[in-house]
Structure 1
């Protein structure tokens, strides 16, 4: 399948591109900084350079895709202002509808609840901390996810708490807070593998599963 990846040069995004290539997919990588494009991609990856505010570049990246992956996440820089990823996500969703692309896979934290999930002490804590101490980032990730859930597309939002640069594990916990046993830490490699696996799997369409090691 043809997959467009936003945030493709980030820590999780670049691992996701590698997973998609390994699974035999064709990849278009949307990146802000061409200097961050890994040389190892060579000519295997179609590159589109642009900001999240660039509607034309986003439309170009989505054209011809069968699915879209967004590994975009809020900046933790306290000097950052505004919520550019909310508007950027809106541009991505508009481009998908324009090109009749239905499948969307994105990332979030348990501050965002699955539609069938009830709040737990963990989700309350994960919501309270950013809402209180990183309000801009909280507004950005919840704003992005609200647009995705309301899009009418075949979306999946993968949630995680503490991504680590650790090796991929043999066993990954997937589920929902309040009903399943989930941990806090998770390997970025496992997030990438699970993300890539959703491209041709409809198990979690319209859901926001949490993942941990």
Structure 2
């Protein structure tokens, strides 16, 4: 399959691109800064450079894709302003609909609830902290996720709490708060592997599973 990855040069994005390549997919990487393109990609990855406000570049990146992955997440910089990823996600979803691309896999935290999940002490805490202390980032992640869930596309939102720079672990738990036993920490390598696996797996279509180690 041909997969377009947004946020492809970030910590999880790079690992996701590598996982997709290892699984035999063709990859288009959308990136803002050409200097962050890994030399190891060589000619194996088609690269499109643009901002998340560049509708034409986003359209070019999505054209010909079978699926889209977004490894984008809000900036934690307290000096950051606005919610560019909300409008940017809107541009991505619009391009997908123009090109009849149905599959979307994105990322979020448990501040975003799964459609069939009820709030728990953990989800309340995870939502309270950013809502109180990082309101801009909270508004951005909720704004992105609301659009995705209401898009009518075949979406999956992979949620996680505490990503770590550790190798893949022997066990990855996936499920939903209130019904499954889940932890907090998870390796970025496992997030990337789980994300890549969703491209051709319909288990969590229309769902937002939490993963942890």
TM-score tier, shorter chain, comes to over 0.9
Name the counterpart of 1:191: 191
CA RMSD of aligned residues (A): 0.3
Q: Distance in 2 between matches of 1:55 and 1:112?
A: 26
Matched, 1:12 2:12: yes
How many angstroms does 1:158 deviate by? 0.3
Name the counterpart of 2:49: 49
Name the counterpart of 2:107: 107
Matched, 1:144 2:144: yes
Name the counterpart of 1:116: 116
Q: Distance in 2 between matches of 1:127 and 1:46?
A: 37
Q: Secondary structure at the match of 1:95?
A: helix
Q: Could you list the runs of 5+ residues in structure 2 that have no partner in the other structure?
A: none
Name the counterpart of 1:205: 205
| Per-residue CA distance 1:110-169 (angstroms, 9 max, x = gap) | 000000101111000000000000000000000000000000000000000000000101
How many angstroms does 1:39 deviate by? 0.1
Name the counterpart of 1:159: 159
Q: Distance in 1 between matches of 2:205 and 2:175?
A: 14
Q: Distance in 2 between matches of 1:11 and 1:28?
A: 17
Q: Could you list the runs of 5+ residues in structure 1 that have no partner in the other structure?
A: none
Q: Secondary structure at the match of 1:131?
A: helix
Q: Distance in 2 between matches of 1:78 and 1:119?
A: 27
Any runs of at least 4 consecutive aligned residues in structure 1 with deviations exceeding 3 A, and if so which? none
Q: Count the aligned residue pairs.
A: 213
| Per-residue CA distance 1:8-50 (angstroms, 9 max, x = gap) | 0000000000000000000000000000000000000000000
Name the counterpart of 2:128: 128
How many angstroms does 1:170 deviate by? 1.3
TM-score under structure 2 length normalisation = 1.00
TM-score under structure 1 length normalisation = 1.00
Name the counterpart of 2:92: 92
Q: Distance in 2 between matches of 1:121 and 1:149?
A: 23
